[in-house]
Amino acid sequence: MPFFRFSSFGLRPCARFVSIHGIVTLGSLVAAATSFSTARADGKETAPEAGTAGAEIKKAGVYAGAGFIPRFAYHGGAFYRVLPDVAAEGEIAHGSYSLKFGGNGVESKRTHATLRGRYFVGSSFNLNAGLAYDILTDSSQYDESTAAGATTRVELESTVHQIEFELGLGNRWTMGSFLIGCDWIGIGLPLVQTSVSTKANDGAKAIGEKDDFESDAKARAKALSPHFLRLHLGYAF
């Protein structure tokens, strides 16, 4: 199997190992964040993001940041407080990674648009859930030896569109109009793939690589998607 071909046994295990390790490590951070929120509420030091009586509640805001979904991605969004303890939020994120040497390599891109709700517990700790629309694009280029001993150039690209349910835990604080927050840990569960398309050059078609590449792309998209350490800064009003 070529080194630069995507497969279920290719780059995905590395991403899964990093994500799982991050989830285990971040467990203590989530607990600490929850404790911090409770302590602030018990001490009557309420933050503007608090949903408790007497706190200054910002009705809306915008933010931008970066984190892992599970690949590193930048994101930006806006929220509106529909109830004292509930905010509706829209967000879009984009991330990519590539591994290339000379003319051979692989590249993966992900665009992730989410509509979610946040329920605030105490002064800043929140539970969030929503639906996301994912566009995942994987491409691969490499030279493949044929049975006749010749070398053929293989170029492939698959794009998967799917809907995903996501669930997470985070904290968000405001100081005046300044907003800072972090979604410490979350998980994305693919629900349905709406479309799959694959482009292949003549070399890939000649050796029957197109169908295998598309199958691998579908399988990767169906895997659970850990999200963690998604930091953001913004402005609330």
What is the domain-level CATH number for residue 125? 2.40.160
Instruction: Give the structural domain span for 127.
Output: 12-47+58-236
Q: Is residue 144 part of a domain?
A: yes
> 237: part of which helix (H) or strand (E)?
none
pLDDT of residue 58 exceeding 90: no
Q: Is residue 103 part of a domain?
A: yes
Q: Is residue 19 part of a domain?
A: yes
Reported as a single tens digit per residue, the pLDDT across 97-146 is 999 888 899 999 999 999 999 999 988 999 999 999 999 999 999 998 87
Q: Is residue 143 part of a domain?
A: yes
C-alpha distances (whole Å) from 234 to each of 26, 43, 67, 175 are 23, 26, 15, 11
Tokens of 7: 């497969």
- Domains in the chain: how many in total? 1
- The pTM assigned to this predicted structure is 0.75
Q: Is residue 126 part of a domain?
A: yes
Q: Which residues of 125-161 are buried (b: 16+ CB within 10 A; e: fewer)?
A: bbebebebebbbbbbbbbebeeeeeeebebbbbbbbb
For the chain, the average pLDDT equals: 82
Q: Is residue 7 part of a domain?
A: no
Reported as a single tens digit per residue, the pLDDT across 8-28 is 334 433 333 333 334 334 444
Q: Is residue 64 part of a domain?
A: yes
Cβ atoms of 187 and 168 within 8 Å: the answer is: yes
Q: Is 207 left (phi over 0), alpha (psi -120 to 50) or beta?
A: alpha
How many degrees, rounded to 5, is the angle at CA 170 between CA 166 and CA 172?
Answer: 130
Confidence category of residue 94, pLDDT binned at 50, 70, 90: very high
Residues contacting 98, CB < 8 A, separation 6+: 105, 106, 107, 108
Q: Is residue 194 part of a domain?
A: yes
Rounded percentage of the chain residues whose pLDDT exceeds 90: 65
According to the model, what pLDDT value does residue 189 have? 97
